[in-house]
Structure 1
Amino acid sequence: MQFMSSWATGDRRTLLHFTDSTLETFCQHIQVIDTACEAGGILLGSVHGAHMIIDEATAPTEYDKRFRCLFERMPFGHESIALARWTGSNGTIRYLGEWHTHSEDHPHPSGLDRSEWNRLSAKRRDKRPMIAVIVGRKSLYAELVPKSGRGLVLAPVE
């Protein structure tokens, strides 16, 4: 599976770039078989004005709750990685959002996804919208989620 690395909002005011290692993490966890459990983690990267580079997607940990149609990220593991990246980069690498898989070719967020994204976005200290990514079998869904309501959907850029 080959996902596009560059994404943008419809007005092109916000650009997002996934590094190869981030895309590799996504690809390693695609729910290829029907019995595979959802996977997920956090997105870490740098902010450049309205634009962002996603340097890393953490992999699921042994503490996370993984089921066929549900992924619940536990803080253990993910938060320590985020803190280490923040400290090691003198604050340039930070938490930017969340990712998880769906067992559908072209994924769309569920009501539970939306409520969780709004909850997490509201907790952000920098008040920026959170990046939410769903990894499907054939495509990605990416959205900039504000603390309330629907956000801006991003689309791949050729």
Structure 2
Amino acid sequence: MQFMSSWATDDKKALLHFSEPTLETFCQYVQASDTDCEAGGLLLGSVHGAHMLIQQATVPTAWDKRFRHLFERMPFGHEAIALSRWMASQGTVRYLGEWHSHPEDHPHPSSLDRLEWGRLSAKRQDKRPMLAVIVGRKALYVELVQSSGRGSVLTSVE
């Protein structure tokens, strides 16, 4: 499985790059078998104008709730990692969004995903759009979600 690392909005005004370790995390949690549960975590990285470099995807913790068609991230663990990365980088590495897997080849957000993304995006103190990624069996779904809940879908540019 090889996911693309570079993504952009249709107008190319926002570019996004996933680091190798981030892509490796995604690959590790692809729901390849019929019994694999959804997984997810936070996306941490740096912002460069309208562009983002995703340096790390946190992995599911023992507290997270994982089922075949549902992933519920609990704050414990993920927030501690995000805070420590933020502190260690003097504020340059920060929370940029969330990822989770779907048991689909080419994933699309559910209505529950959309509700959650809108809620999380509206809570952002920096008012930047939240990055939302769904890891499918063959492809990624990548979207920048505004606080209004409306988003811009990104496509791979490789």
TM-score by length of 2: 0.99
Which residue does 1:117 correspond to in 2? 117
Which residue does 2:132 correspond to in 1? 132
2-structure distance, mates of 1:69, 1:105: 14
AA aligned opposite 2:74: M
Structure 1 residue ranges (4+ consecutive) displaced by more than 3 angstroms after TM superposition: none
Alignment of 1:88-107 (within 5 A): 88-107=88-107
Which residue does 1:8 correspond to in 2? 8
SS in 2 for 1:115: helix
Deviations 1:51-97 (A, max 9, x none): 00000000000000000000000000000000000000000000000
Give the length in aligned residue pairs. 158
2-structure distance, mates of 1:26, 1:11: 26
Which structure 1 segments of 5+ residues have no match? none
Root-mean-square deviation (CA, aligned residues, Å) is 0.4
Alignment identity in percent? 75
2-structure distance, mates of 1:123, 1:150: 14
Which residue does 2:62 correspond to in 1? 62
Shift of 1:148: 1.5
Which structure 2 segments of 5+ residues have no match? none
Which residue does 2:153 correspond to in 1? 153
2-structure distance, mates of 1:114, 1:147: 11
